[in-house]
Amino acid sequence: MTPTTPHDRTGPVTEVSTQRGVTATTFAVLWRGRSALAGATARVVGLSGLSALLMLAAVFALSWPLFTHMRNQRIWYLKVEEDPYLHDSSDLVLVAFGTLPLFLLLLGVGSAALQSVCSRAVASGTRAATKDDLLPARTSARLRPVLAVYAIRGLIVWTLPLVVFFVAHSLTGYQLDTPEPLKRGSWPYRLVAGSPAVAVFVGVLLRTVFALAPAAAAAGLGPRAALRRSWSLAFRGAGGVRILALALPLAALTAATVRLVVQLALPLRPLVRQLLEEATGNFFAAYYAGILAPVVVGILAGAALTLPVTCTAFAVLNLRLRPHEDVPSGQMR
């Protein structure tokens, strides 16, 4: 067999994945490609953070009439009532929900880019990933399929819980027009009231089943084929158990990292509030900007620290669970 045969090009990946566990292989890949992966992560997180700040600035600019109204109401209330003004933030909540898809899209683009980079690093096998392997031109070819997988998976996973939540709230909430058959305390009322929890459980289960889909798309499959591959791997042998055993610690690590960074960044809250209030004279705009500042820092820092580990681990597990004959020739070349 010559050195240029397809099996030789994918041989190092199979050798590594069979001789080591997923955790050991993940950290081996991260260590070998540390320079290139760190540079790619810095570019992705830096551009995502800059884009997020620009989007937040645009949202605050569009919401400025609401902040101005709150400020005027506060001034009037203090003059007339001489009591603290409790402002209504419902309009701001609507603005937040309206702009949330844009931030989710930004998060998806960044995650897709890092997944493509980490999958290329895993596919390099035993040799170290170089900067040429992880050039944007090489990783961007898989960006659209991976991003499509994130979008389709999000629709599949979270549509049911959202629909069930709104339906349950309309039937069991404290509305005057609640249908008479669902009397409070009756068993139909309890069933409908508990249905959102069941729907969330189903959503989490589906999210686990499709956890390998982005890695499969980054490895060369189309969006629908990647989702089908993740589904089949989850129900093949102990695949679902192994996916869950990997996903739970990674989710806990991500949540703990973001929480820790947010707590460490809390001193930014009064600083941002003071600077923005002095610059604009609007207490409410400064107040909400101060609330968001540690959260933005926590998300960006958490992504930079945990996303490379998560994406690499799922890429390794995707290759580990796939039958040897399913590995396409010249993968990731």
- Does residue 297 carry a pLDDT above 80? yes
pLDDT of residue 205: 92
The residue with tokens 């949202």 is: 59
Torsion angle of the four alpha carbons 209, 215, 220, 221, in this order, in degrees rounded to the nearest 10: 20
- Does residue 74 carry a pLDDT above 80? no
Q: Label residue 243 exposed, middle or buried (CB < 10 Å: 0-12, 13-18, 19+).
A: buried
- Does residue 123 carry a pLDDT above 60? yes
Rounded to the nearest integer, the mean pLDDT of the chain is 80
> Where is average pLDDT lowest: 85-94, 163-172, 295-304?
85-94
pTM: 0.78
- Does residue 219 carry a pLDDT above 90? no
- Does residue 99 carry a pLDDT above 50? yes
- Does residue 127 carry a pLDDT above 50? no
**pLDDT, average across residues 193-198:** 87
Three-class DSSP category at 101: helix
Nearest-Å Rg of the Cα atoms of the chain is: 24
Q: Residue 101 CB: number of other CB atoms within 10 A?
A: 10
Residue 224 carries which side chain, given as an amino acid letter? R
pLDDT of residue 89: 75
pLDDT of residue 90: 77
Q: Residue 163 CB: number of other CB atoms within 10 A?
A: 12
Q: What DSSP designation does 327 have?
A: S
